[in-house]
């Protein structure tokens, strides 16, 4: 068994796929550099991310898959599911081993698992288009904090860029400790340590003077549109899973209420 | 904005607007031009109320003052409630403030009839114009067309809104006369007819001249209140069909009546909202619009109401067992879609997967298809074995047993009424 150490990036994983073939590695397991425990493995192969190798794998996949199937690999990778690297490796091995396009061969677990993972990411990135809640700061920045299960920031960037073309915004993934920032021209990736200090006095200091009013208006609106006689908590939670609540304005009680 | 007063108005005017069930914000094509604010594309539900409905639009009334007295409406003249009215600027500020924070996809603006139809409509139009022209706002806007408003105003509304709707509210003229003596179907049909013609006209023109402005690109919709009066589902779906076919409606919404007044023409306060029935109507509507079912296949004179305990597709299948079993390895997509337990996507997946191999029952489970539900209708190039000779009633009971219906509680509740 060979442990493959890579940097955790998509290009890194693609490079690893290339090298598995290049060095004819057998029985591989993947590990990210920062989290690996090399001692457990007798064989370890370290991968240095290499654009040329990554692109060759990408081109190979692109030729053998539809547009949709090709993107599914990226989506599945972003799901960060347990062992997703191995799942994707088995899929690509099947793709390269077959003469015809196999992406719709859903009765094979290699294909189905990737589809499922891609679906998960797709679903969450769709959700995050909805569940981002911007707050306005004194200096005109709209910022939002999210904590998605999948690494979806790269997938929602364009959506927010199109939609909020005339306001500066930042969406920060507090689980992965990076964000995307739009400066009215371009979107860039920013790495930062966001203050977890969200005491109301701290927020009052950085937030626009109308911010709290709008948040309360929204909470108030959210309450008013509910029809008590139709209450259906199960459905509510199915659509708005609890794990997202702590970043959803309407689900955070107003602590300052006099 | 004077904050406290606006807070109070929002509570009143959102509360009064919530009974309008229309919520969707899709199907429009407005793009963000010149780095403005917003676009309309996806149709995103930004939040979900505790009753599980999607919140995608800021749905409010401009005012709940009304000169009419429709019995099913909280805003009716004779109802003793707090009244409020937004200013044009307040609605604009709220919409923009909410949109910029990504709370909403846009605005759904309706209104009680204040003074007269044109006076009200004129204000609604002023709000959309301000949003589009001054704020450069490209988010979704759904405006209520006030019955009786002049054609010039309707036309202006269409030029700035994405969707317009006139609610028919009651499925038959008779019920309308009973509950809304000031109204008649003609007043509702007339603006619908006008809008339909304008929408088609603009679409035609657009084909030859790309500079033609958008006119209600998301079309028009309407709503029917159900369960307030005694219409059956045949009448309701028949009316919906008329709207789809004759008025080219994009959507017909069904709003289960929420009892709001002590009025002996209406179900008493405390009567449960007919949620299952509403759900069944949406399912039937869906089958008609997307699955190619004909209304008469779903309800007919011999059976004018949808089954409440099973969905309309299963109901249809049980009445048409002679069309089954279907062999999923050979049948065409249309027929596979008609199998209970197999949806739109499931059918597509089957047709895709079967090009690789002959499908087995296990494969269906892998494709995420409810085999336990569909098996009664499947054949059977082996290894599917035949569920031998069950009667419709037996199948129905077996399926009901295995689906621990999510509506079970509501259902027994409801049964007590009949
Ligand atoms: S006209 Fe409209 S707002 Fe006025 S009472 Fe009738 S339904 Fe309500």
Question: The complex's ipTM?
Answer: 0.88
Of B7, B275, B353, the CB nearest to A107: B353
Interchain CB contact of B42 with A (< 8 Å): yes
For ligand 1, what atom is nearest to the CA of residue B74?
Answer: 8
Give the C-alpha separation, B297 to B317, whole Å.
Answer: 10
What residue spans of B324-367 are helical by DSSP H? 333-337, 344-353, 361-366
For ligand 1, what atom is nearest to the CA of residue B61?
Answer: 3
B400 — pLDDT class (breaks 50, 70, 90): confident
Work out the number of other CB atoms within 10 angstroms of the CB of residue A239.
16
Which residue stretches of chain A have pLDDT < 50?
Answer: 257-258
Give the C-alpha separation, A140 to A181, whole Å.
Answer: 13
User: Among residues 159-198 of chain B, which lie with CB inside 8 Å of chain A?
Assistant: none
- Measured in degrees and rounded to the nearest 5, phi and psi for residue A180 equal -115, 135
pLDDT in tens, B245-277: 999 999 999 988 988 888 889 898 888 888 899
Predicted structure pTM score: 0.84
**Per-residue pLDDT, A199:** 63
CATH of domain B2-273: 3.20.20.70
Q: Is the pLDDT of residue B151 over 80?
A: yes
Q: Which residues of A touch B35 (CB under 8 A)?
A: 165-166, 184
Residue whose token pair is 């509501």:
B410
| Both tokens assigned to B350 | 């089957």
Q: Is the pLDDT of residue B111 over 50?
A: yes
Give the residue whose CA is nearest to atom 5 of ligand 1: B76
**Per-residue pLDDT, B87:** 96
Integer angstrom CA distances of residue B234 from A168, B298, B302: 53, 9, 10
Mean pLDDT in residue range B175-183: 88
pLDDT in tens, B81-103: 999 999 999 999 999 999 999 99
B411 — pLDDT class (breaks 50, 70, 90): very low
**Per-residue pLDDT, A38:** 63
pLDDT in tens, B112-140: 998 899 999 999 999 999 999 999 999 99
Give the C-alpha separation, B78 to B70, whole Å.
Answer: 9
Q: Is the pLDDT of residue B358 over 70?
A: yes
Element (H, E) at A69: helix A67-78
Give the residue whose CA is nearest to atom 1 of ligand 1: B68
Sheet with A168-173: strands ordered across: A135-136, A141-146, A168-173, A178-182, A187-191
Q: Which residues of B touch A98 (CB under 8 A)?
A: none
CA neighbor of B368 nearest in space, from A106, A238, A237: A106
Q: Is the pLDDT of residue B355 over 80?
A: yes
Give the C-alpha separation, B380 to B373, whole Å.
Answer: 16
DSSP-derived secondary structure for B283-332: HHHHHHHHS---HHHH-BTTB-S--SSS-HHHHHHHHTGGG--EETTTS-
List CB contacts of B262: < 8 A, sequence separation 6 or more: B268, B269
Q: Is the pLDDT of residue B286 over 60?
A: yes
CA torsion through residues B176, B177, B182, B183, sign: positive
Cα dihedral value A109, A115, A121, A125, nearest 10:
-170
**Which residues line the pocket of ligand 1, CB cutoff 6 A?**
B 66, 68, 70, 73, 75-76, 112-113, 180
Q: Is the pLDDT of residue B384 over 60?
A: no
**Per-residue pLDDT, B130:** 97
**Per-residue pLDDT, B49:** 82
Q: Is the pLDDT of residue B407 over 50?
A: no
For ligand 1, what atom is nearest to the CA of residue B64?
Answer: 3
Mean pLDDT in residue range B346-368: 86
> Do A57 and A18 contact (CB within 8 A), yes or no?
yes
Phi-psi region of B175 (alpha: psi -120 to 50; beta: other; left: phi over 0): alpha
**Per-residue pLDDT, B68:** 92
Q: Is the pLDDT of residue B42 over 80?
A: no
Q: For residue A101, what is the nearest residue in chain B, using CA coordinates? A: B356
| Both tokens assigned to B23 | 């919520």
Of B13, B60, B70, B149, which is best to mutate to test ligand 1, by the most ligand atoms within 8 angstroms of its C-beta?
Answer: B70
Q: Is the pLDDT of residue B329 over 60?
A: yes
pLDDT in tens, B18-41: 887 766 665 666 777 778 888 876
**Per-residue pLDDT, B26:** 58
pLDDT in tens, A129-144: 999 999 999 999 999 9
Q: Is the pLDDT of residue B409 over 50?
A: no
Q: Which residue has the higher pLDDT, A239 or B111?
A: B111
**Per-residue pLDDT, A198:** 61
**Per-residue pLDDT, B380:** 57
**Per-residue pLDDT, A133:** 94
Q: State the pairing for strand pair A43-46/B326-327.
A: unpaired
Interchain CB contact of B108 with A (< 8 Å): no
Mean pLDDT in residue range B176-200: 89
Give the C-alpha separation, B222 to B53, whole Å.
Answer: 18
Q: Do A131 and B44 count as a contact with CB atoms less than 8 A apart? A: no
Of B32, B102, B272, the CB nearest to A165: B32
Integer angstrom CA distances of residue B389 from B122, B324, B326, B372, B393: 65, 11, 15, 16, 11
Centroid of chain to Cα B319: 27
Output the CA B70–ligand 1 centroid distance in Å.
6
What are the residue boundaries of the structural domains of chain A, listed by start?
2-124, 132-257
Angle of CA points B295, B297, B303, to nearest 5°: 95
Domain with CATH 3.20.20.70 in chain B: 2-273
For ligand 1, what atom is nearest to the CA of residue B111?
Answer: 3
């Amino acid at each position: 068994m060979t442990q493959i150490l890579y940097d955790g990036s998509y290009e890194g994983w693609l490079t690893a796929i290339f090298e598995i073939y290049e060095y004819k590695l057998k029985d591989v397991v993947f590990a990210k550099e920062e989290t690996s425990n090399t001692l457990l493995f007798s064989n370890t192969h370290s991968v240095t991310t290499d654009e040329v190798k990554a692109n060759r794998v990408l081109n190979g996949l692109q030729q053998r898959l539809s547009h949709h199937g090709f993107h599914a690999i990226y989506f599945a990778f972003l799901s960060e599911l347990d062992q997703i690297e191995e799942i994707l490796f088995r899929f690509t091995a099947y793709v390269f081993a077959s003469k015809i396009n196999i992406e719709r061969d859903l009765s094979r677990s290699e294909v189905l698992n990737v589809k499922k993972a891609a679906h998960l990411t797709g679903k969450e990135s769709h959700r995050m288009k909805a569940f981002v809640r911007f707050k306005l700061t004194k200096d005109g920045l709209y910022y939002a904090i999210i904590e998605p299960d999948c690494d979806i920031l790269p997938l929602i960037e364009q959506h927010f860029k199109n939609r909020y073309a005339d306001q500066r915004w930042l969406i920060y993934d507090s689980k992965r400790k990076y964000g995307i920032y739009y400066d009215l021209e371009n979107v860039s990736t920013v790495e930062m340590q966001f203050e977890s200090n969200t005491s109301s006095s701290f927020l009052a200091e950085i937030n626009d003077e109308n911010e709290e009013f709008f948040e309360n208006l929204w909470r108030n609106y959210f309450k008013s549109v509910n029809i008590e006689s139709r209450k259906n908590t199960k459905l509510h939670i199915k659509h708005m899973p609890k794990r997202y609540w702590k970043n959803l304005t309407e689900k955070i009680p107003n602590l300052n209420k006099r | 904005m004077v904050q406290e007063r606006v807070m109070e108005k929002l509570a009143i005017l959102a509360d009064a607007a919530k009974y309008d069930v229309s919520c969707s914000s899709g199907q429009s094509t407005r793009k963000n031009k010149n780095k403005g604010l917003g676009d309309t594309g996806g149709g995103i539900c930004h939040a979900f109320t505790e009753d599980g409905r999607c919140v995608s639009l800021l749905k409010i009334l401009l005012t709940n003052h009304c000169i009419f007295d429709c019995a099913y409406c909280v805003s009716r003249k004779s109802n003793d409630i707090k009244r409020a009215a937004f200013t044009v600027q307040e609605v604009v500020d709220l919409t923009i403030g909410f949109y910029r924070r990504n709370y909403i996809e846009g605005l759904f603006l309706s209104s009680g009839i204040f003074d007269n139809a044109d006076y009200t409509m004129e204000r609604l139009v002023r709000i959309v114009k301000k949003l589009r022209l001054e704020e450069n706002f490209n988010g979704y806007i759904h405006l209520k067309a006030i019955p009786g408003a002049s054609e010039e105003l309707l036309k202006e509304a269409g030029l700035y809104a994405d969707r317009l709707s006139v609610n028919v509210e009651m499925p038959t003229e008779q019920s309308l006369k009973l509950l809304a003596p000031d109204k008649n179907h003609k007043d509702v049909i007339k603006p619908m007819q006008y809008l339909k013609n304008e929408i088609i006209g603009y679409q035609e023109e657009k084909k030859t001249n790309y500079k033609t402005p958008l006119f209600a690109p998301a079309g028009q919709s309407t709503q029917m209140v159900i369960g307030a009066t005694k219409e059956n589902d045949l009448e309701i779906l028949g009316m919906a069909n008329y709207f789809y076919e004759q008025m080219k409606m994009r959507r017909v919404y069904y709003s289960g009546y929420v009892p709001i007044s002590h009025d002996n023409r209406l179900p008493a306060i405390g009567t449960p909202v007919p949620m299952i029935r509403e759900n069944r109507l949406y399912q039937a509507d869906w089958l008609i619009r997307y699955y190619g079912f004909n209304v008469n296949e779903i309800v007919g004179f011999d059976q004018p109401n949808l089954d409440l305990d099973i969905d309309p597709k299963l109901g249809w299948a049980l009445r048409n067992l002679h069309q089954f079993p279907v062999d999923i390895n050979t049948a065409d997509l249309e027929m596979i879609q008609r199998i209970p337990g197999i949806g739109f996507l499931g059918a597509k997946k089957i047709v895709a997967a079967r090009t690789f191999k002959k499908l087995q029952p296990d494969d269906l489970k892998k494709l995420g298809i409810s085999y336990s539900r569909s098996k009664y209708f499947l054949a059977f190039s082996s290894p599917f074995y035949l569920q031998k000779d069950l009667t419709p009633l037996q199948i129905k009971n077996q399926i009901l047993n295995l689906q621990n219906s999510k509506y079970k509680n509501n259902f027994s509740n409801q049964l007590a009424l009949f």
